[in-house]
Amino acid sequence: MKFKRSRTIEEKIQECLDDKVQNLHPDLRDKLFVELQNVSISSDVAKCKSYVSKLLSLPETGKQTKQYWISRGWSDGESHFKSTENVKKGKVSPYSKEFWTSKINPNTGVYYTDCEADYERNSRRPIRKEYWLKRGYNETESIKLAKEKKEKNNIKGAEKSKNNNEVQKVSSKRCIEYWTIRGFSEVDAREKISQEQSTFTLEKCIEKYGKEGGKQKWLDRQEKWQGSLDKKSDSEKIEINRKKATKINYRTLWNKDLTENGILYLLKVTGNDEEFYKIGITTKSVYSRYCGNKIGKYDYEIVEVFSNNIHKSFILEQKIIKENRKISYIPKQKFEGWTECFYEKPIINYN
């Protein structure tokens, strides 16, 4: 006759913590595991659970509440993320288009169209004009009320962020914590943030809206940003430049006070049965800019180099791109800066 092996104290404690209490923060779990080995009830799983529940004041609420996670040792930000994730699981929100397009519209007798779905979901949000239109306001009044509500929400959100910075970090795709709590390594998290911060590049606009439409969309956005910058006082501009002193990007390059050395270069690029020209700017040497003598899978040779400060080099680059738009070229293999290429040597006026 075979006898069932008696479980060890450690196995019973493990069952208590992992199967009965569940979802403990690893650090708290390890601490409780040691503590339970030194109490007289450790051989009884039910009593162990009762002991832990009283010790941690575990709430009777479910995983969809922050308190459930906080009581189990998770931080405020982690608890916010975990509770909202559990609310989302298995549910389609009435604020989503999918919720409505899967339902029959009682007014038409068929499924909601995309436009009808957009109206329904927006009519539940006070920051959208549809919400006010549905309540009897006219178009002008609805736009005004929606704008006022959005501004109030922005003020509340900013104040809330100041008081609860940790929740903000796990909620913003531009924070490392947002990605690490979702299982990404710190290196991958930084790469994700970099991608998020470059969501409005010229390349992405062209991919989304087509060559002409994408360029126009991108230019309109930059002009709008430049207009808002010009309205700022000199002291505000100085502060903005101070904060971004180490970040030379499209926005900062418009700043006339940017005096860091830079070069404008013209390259002849070959490979993949293609031959074309590429223009660009850099604060480094061309070789350092591309970490060698290749651009992606292409070879290149330097045709011309013009040295100046980086702002003037950038302005000249934009002028050349605009004046040579008719000979712009899209390489078969995409690489960083592929929108600055021409199928023949561009005309460059350095004056």
- The string of pLDDT tens digits covering residues 262-283 is 888 999 999 989 999 999 888 8
**pLDDT the model gives residue 245:** 44
> 202 with 214: CB under 8 angstroms?
yes
**pLDDT the model gives residue 243:** 46
> 308 with 262: CB under 8 angstroms?
yes
More confident site: 63 or 17: 17
Beta-carbon-side half-sphere exposure of residue 189 (alpha carbons within 13 Å): 17
Q: Where are the domains of the chain?
A: 9-83, 97-195, 202-243, 258-342
pTM of the model: 0.38
- The pLDDT-based confidence of 246 (bands split at 50, 70, 90) is very low
d(CA 175, CA 247): 17
156-165, 209-218, 269-278: which range is least confident on average? 156-165
Number of Cβ within a 10 Å radius of residue 181 = 20
More confident site: 97 or 247: 97
Secondary structure of residue 306 in the 3-state scheme: strand
Helix boundaries (H) for the chain:
9-15, 26-36, 45-56, 66-70, 76-88, 97-101, 114-122, 129-133, 139-163, 165-171, 176-180, 186-197, 202-209, 211-230, 234-243, 250-253, 286-289, 310-323
- The pLDDT-based confidence of 141 (bands split at 50, 70, 90) is very high
